[in-house]
Structure 1
Amino acid sequence: MSRDTLPDASWSEQPFDERREIERYYAAKYLTLDWYASIGPALVKSGVAVEIHEMSASPRLEVIDLLRRRGVRFSYGTDSHGPEQLLKREFITRVLNCIGLNEADIFKPEERKGGARCIR
């Protein structure tokens, strides 16, 4: 498969690590820092959080840092389907150590008018 063409539906049948590699490639190519910077104000205005996703290690650290500096809040998800996945914390540990998120950066549904909304 050429990296400049989208994979066919069978990409979901590829090994997990290969799927993550495909996702990272397309995220870096099309979900640029400029794009994230452009949507930051809308995320803040609408009160929508961005999920820090453990299983896919996304968004990238530089994206989290950029959005945090613009006032975007975050939620955390493991996408767990078993105890071993629930205990996995490598990415969030890296985020906390490298970016320094604090309680003010975390989405709190009770503070949002109209209820909770998260995107990833």
Structure 2
Amino acid sequence: MTELTYTKNGDYLIPDLTLSETPEDARPLGKYGRLRRSYLQEHRPGLYSRLVLSEKLFPHLREIDETANRRLEQMMPELMKSAGVTEELKARDQMKWVGLMNSLKAQAEEIILSELVYN
């Protein structure tokens, strides 16, 4: 464990805290990771600070993002099957197909947001 150093600021000693460098090959966060970060900053500042100081924030956000994307990929075919969205419908009535797909994606995202991001 390293020794903490302090900087004097007026009458107070402020610890010199630094975070280790992130890997250069780190991919940027996706939509769900960014939403989770915003949620933590605004609604769970204690947890956000703890994750930042323990350097677990980025791995946490990456895990949420990857899990949410996997969950979306799993849910869409199931929702499409239950709603009767087929390739035949896509060929016959594209506008109806697009409307149904948008509706199904919104349903899936609502579930993902409530289960993973805003929890």
The TM-score with structure 1 as length reference comes to 0.24
Decide which structure has the larger Cα Rg and report it: 2
More helix by share: 2
The TM-score with structure 2 as length reference comes to 0.24
